[in-house]
Amino acid sequence: MPKRFNTKNPVNHQFRNSSNSQPFRPKKTSSNYPRNDYARRMDKKHDLLHVRELPKDMRHGVAMYKASTTKIDNKLAKSHQSWINRYEHFANLNGIKYEPVNQINKAVSNYLTQIKSYYSELQEESDEALAVKVNALETDWIKKIGKIPDIKKTEEKDSIEYKKELMKIKKTHSPIVYCSPKTGNFKYLSKCIDLLATRSTILFAFDIEAFEMDNNVVTEVGISIFDPRENVTGMVPITRNFHIIVSEALSLRNKKWVCDMKECYLLGQSVVLSLNETVEFVQSLINYYMVETSDATSKSWNRAYVGHNIDGDISWLQKIGVHIPFANKLNRTLIDDNKQNVKIPYILDTMKLYNYCYGSNGCSLGKILRLFGLTHAFLHNAGNDAYYTLKLLMYMCDINFRKMFGLDDLDKFQKKAQLLLDRSKTEPKILPISYSITMKNAEKQNKPKKDLVPQTEFGGSKWFPSANQAFENTIEYTGKKLY
């Protein structure tokens, strides 16, 4: 009997590709399980994902993915080499040295001094206001029962009731100064602002999407990079953005806990690579951007990994075979001054930064973007999430933005965050309904659906046999030198 390849899984069939308008159908042999209605529905659904130049014999599924994990050959892991240096533009970036700008450094220093003083005063005011509320509660209980109940006596009714009222006062008290200068939280905030506002740091943001039925299966990798060496003179920030779909996981779609947004990359064309080439692609980027060389020019720059609850994403990259230099020494709290002979990249976590400033209410990426009024769409696409995470960090650490939108007004943002959280529990999410209604009416009237596509259009996906070719495809201009 021929060897089966995950034939029990009805979603393990070929997507429609550019050279064949019909989806792949396995031949009926004794090794095939009978096809059922569910399998046929899944095939029709998968026709929606059009991958340019996808090979006809491309196989995918959980079994194929797990088999590929045993064949990872990351040749760039220990060499720290990167084929990105072959391109003239990127090779030239290595010759740009960080030059501090006194005016900017002075402005950053003045701002941090001001908010340190402000947060210290706010902490004192907040503590005094909270003490007044607690004293009033204690006075009421003394009048009521002649004493203040002991909250440790959990078996007594008065103690339980008093504890509830006390916790309610503390929970609703505002502002709570999480980033008090007396704590490490303020140092984290100030270090983040310093690293970004001085434009001394190469930022490498990434996000991983995994298959919800098996979290060991990585389906997408998103990367968004801000390199200040490319932004010395420009007013419009240049970022390098990548969305990689792992070919072995093409047919694995999330739908139970989150919507699958694999096709919905907003920043260009998604690239489809095998798991091995995905590892090489990511490793080459890490080696180029995050590993400093021995010369003084390279050492003049700081480097930082950026993510939203980043620890899990780092673990996922390591599990698929990506080598993270200094993984066991990464400065995850920014408490150290990072004065080693070789600079260890920083870890800048937007969820941690938010929690350190405003608490844990509404700390998901989408809720924070909404809180700060930052436009976004199609979250849970790894490429989009990586870009929005980078964008969020840059806004939170931009002094002008902080001043204009009052990010240091802790009372305002803590109350707004709670309001949005309360609304999310009672109000349905606003989703566009007109498209589905229009399509249904068009079907009844035999109108062409092509003219009724939604206004948001995406770059689609393209398969590449190698990581190098995929990267070259993302470079906007590789022609002759114009100047």
Strand 302-307, strand 214-226: pairing: unpaired
* pLDDT under 50: residue ranges of the chain: 1-47
Q: Is 214 helix (H, G, I), strand (E, B) or coil?
A: strand
Q: What is the pLDDT of residue 153?
A: 84
pTM given for the model? 0.84
Please give the pLDDT value at position 39.
40
Interval 77-110: pLDDT, tens: 988 899 999 999 999 999 999 999 999 999 999 9
Q: How far apart are CA 109 and CA 103, in angstroms?
A: 10
Structure tokens at 365: 């990426």
pLDDT of residue 106: 96
The predicted-structure confidence for 258-276, as pLDDT tens digits, reads as follows 888 999 999 999 999 999 9
Positive or negative, the CA dihedral 18, 210, 453, 445 is: positive
Secondary element (H or E) of residue 221: strand 214-226
